[in-house]
Structure 1
Amino acid sequence: MEEILSLRIYQTLVGIIGILGNGLVCVVIWKTPAMQNRTNAFIFHQAVIDFLGSTMILLKSEVPVPNPIPDNALGVFLCHVWYTFILFFFFVLSSFNLLILTMERYFAIVHPFKYQVMFSSWPHLKVGLAMAMCWVCAIAIKSYLLFIYDEQDGVCAPVVRSQFLGILTLVLQYVLPVTVMLFAYIRISVEMKRGAARVGPTSVAEHSASGSNVPSMAESLLKARRNTFKMLLIVFITFLVCWTPNQVLFFAYNIGFYVDFEHWLFLLSVAMVATNSCVNPLIYGLKYRQFRKGLREMVCGRRNIRDEFGTMSSNVP
């Protein structure tokens, strides 16, 4: 019982920190014109999702539910929606938005010409469609949770267990996104090293000829991309740390091992997934220079602060 109480307190803190942190990210991006570009649009969407997820974490931790579960419409909602679907829906939605955010950076850096063609027409509509795809995919993947649980003697218990469905869900919500993002980060890293090699000798020659220490446009762009890449890489690693224990237990359950969903170990793994909803704002504050500039601008009332790309344009990839 002490372990369960500790986990409940932890989830409450995670919910509060996630609400405050992600709310702050939304306000900073919304109020700072220099941050209103495509990459930050997906970061804003990520913060909105994690804000909603953190709200659900706090509600599930603090709002009491009937025990035993009533045999009525409230019981149906609690068993089919409240206990499992809604929280993991936001968790999976957050991971898919991270995947889309990663792929946006991948195409901008590794395939810049395709990226420009992709967003040459109706850019806002395409960004909106990408975000909508995240919601559709998350609903499609987690909708099975609405049907495999039912009320039995006042307890919400699984009534259907499909090994195929469980493994398919694991692949779609964890293995596939992780594999694609890992590939993208490797390719981005290689491309940025090539970019640094191209910029380096040219910049040295230009600075020697002009006698100036002011970085060139190419250097500023490379520096900004490197900062964003490092920040997103930390977000990805944090995602792996938070999600892996829960997905390992989920895999073990689906291949036939006994997993007690009320045991503190499984509940801790869920708490770690929940932590992923509150940790990203801390990463932005520590590693994302553009976010820190936007926060200073909003708090201190500064105007015309240049963005990370060294220009006042908000749409430079």
Structure 2
Amino acid sequence: MLLCDSSNVSTVGTAVVVGYTVSNYVLTVIGFFANLMVIIVFINCKIHRRSFTYLLVLQQSFLDMIACCLYLYFYNIPASNGNVAIYCKFATLFFFFLSASTLNLAFISVERYIAVVHPLKYWIRGNQMRSNLPQLCIPLIAAFLVTFQYVFILEEDPAVPGTCTFCYKNEGFRILSGTILLLANAIVPICTMIFSYYHVYITLKKQTKFRTESTIQPQINIEPSTSCNVADIEINISPSQTNDKDKAHDAQQNFIITMSINTLVYTICITPLIVLYVVYTICECFDIHNHISRDIAVFIVVSNMAANPFVYAYKLKYFKEGFSKTFCRQ
């Protein structure tokens, strides 16, 4: 016997359904064009060639853009007659890109953690890697392993023909599936990002303090002499090297702040869905699978993908410069 949970839009007033559908279309349009804008700017200004980190950000925009489109299709366009089974299996793609987007954000935080906190290991490993492709595939492979189960549990809803639902073989598999999805798509990524960016922040703060003290008290070498002349004093500071290091440090700090804001936005967006499922699991006081609150929570999660480009436009220095160069008249 299968345990089936409906994943359809709840049966509520027509005005609410229409408003929800229109909101989905608006969200998809904003998410698609906002992420497309990021892709155009990165490619046009070759920002993704600056470092592997920016290449991951470019991949993030591709994942978010595709996920927004799939969300519109699988949550708002009903399946045609006779193709419901295939339609439900292909709905796995939406969950794959949703999970890949989350894991890619977490992977960026880990990459920055290693680069800033353990720079020597990062440099050695970077020199040993001939291609960035294997590392780029890590979030995608992890997302595939997490979401592949949807191929087996997404089936046509027997109660509502033409729609899809989650069907489990038994209660144990249902609990196991929910636990894996909750850990992989919410708890572990959030904890990883918070841990990584916290230690990166502490490290950058120490570096800033050290650089400030070095600037105030430069290293001075005085040659032994019977008399002390101005010509005998050599200050070992190269202005060009100091300026380049300052620029690199500022760019690093700017990127960390940008991605920390992305982490905060993601945490805020995913929290309603987590709270909703926890409350439902504890009390089962409402039908979560046919309740409008679930649809709103999923909508908020997807809105995070449309919000990332606006965070880049607000804070990321290289993107703002590239946007002006690409779209604004000189």
Place the TM-score, normalised by the shorter chain, in its bin. Answer: 0.7 to 0.9
Which residue of structure 2 lines up, in the alignment, with residue 32 of structure 1? 45
Deviation at 1:277, TM superposition (A): 1.2
Could you tell me how far apart the structure 1 residues matched to 2:85 and 2:187 are? Answer: 31
Does the Cα contact within 8 Å between 1:18 and 1:50 map onto a contact in 2?
yes
Which residue of structure 2 lines up, in the alignment, with residue 42 of structure 1? 56
Superimposed CA distance per residue, residues 83-107 of structure 1 (whole angstroms, 9 cap, x where no aligned partner): xx23222111100110111111111
Candidates 261, 277, 282, aligned match of 1:234: 261
Does the Cα contact within 8 Å between 2:109 and 2:192 map onto a contact in 1?
no
Deviation at 1:56, TM superposition (A): 1.3
Could you tell me how far apart the structure 1 residues matched to 2:96 and 2:276 are? Answer: 18
Give the TM-score normalised by structure 2. 0.80
Candidates 134, 139, 144, aligned match of 1:129: 134
Candidates 80, 86, 89, aligned match of 1:80: 89
Does the Cα contact within 8 Å between 2:280 and 2:288 map onto a contact in 1?
no
* 2:207 aligned with 1:191: no
For 2:113, the aligned partner's letter is Y
SS state at 1:65 partner: coil
Gap regions ≥5 residues in structure 2: 1-12, 219-234
1:81-100 to structure 2, matched below 5 A, reads 81-82=90-91, 85-100=92-107
**Of 160-169 and 248-257, the range deviating more from structure 2:** 248-257
For 2:58, the aligned partner's letter is F
Could you tell me how far apart the structure 2 residues matched to 1:220 and 1:203 are? Answer: 15
Superimposed CA distance per residue, residues 211-256 of structure 1 (whole angstroms, 9 cap, x where no aligned partner): x9x9733322221111111100000001101111112323445567
Does the Cα contact within 8 Å between 1:80 and 1:150 map onto a contact in 2?
yes
SS state at 2:289 partner: coil
Give the TM-score normalised by structure 1. 0.83
Gap change, CA 1:54 and 1:157, over 3 Å in 2: closer
Deviation at 1:45, TM superposition (A): 0.2
Candidates 15, 18, 38, aligned match of 1:5: 18
SS state at 2:127 partner: coil
Deviation at 1:34, TM superposition (A): 4.8
Candidates 99, 102, 110, aligned match of 2:109: 102
Which residue of structure 2 lines up, in the alignment, with residue 63 of structure 1? 77
For 2:32, the aligned partner's letter is I
Does the Cα contact within 8 Å between 1:4 and 1:264 map onto a contact in 2?
no
Rg: which structure is higher? 2
Gap regions ≥5 residues in structure 1: 303-317
Does the Cα contact within 8 Å between 2:47 and 2:54 map onto a contact in 1?
no
* 2:32 aligned with 1:19: yes
Question: Identity over aligned residues, as a percent?
Answer: 20
Could you tell me how far apart the structure 1 residues matched to 2:166 and 2:71 are? Answer: 22
Deviation at 1:128, TM superposition (A): 1.6
Superimposed CA distance per residue, residues 143-163 of structure 1 (whole angstroms, 9 cap, x where no aligned partner): 222222332141533331421
For 2:143, the aligned partner's letter is A
Deviation at 1:280, TM superposition (A): 0.6
Could you tell me how far apart the structure 2 residues matched to 1:172 and 1:35 are? Answer: 27
Which residue of structure 1 lines up, in the alignment, with residue 314 of structure 2? 286
Superimposed CA distance per residue, residues 240-294 of structure 1 (whole angstroms, 9 cap, x where no aligned partner): 0111111232344556735422321110000001101111110000100111111
Does the Cα contact within 8 Å between 2:146 and 2:180 map onto a contact in 1?
no
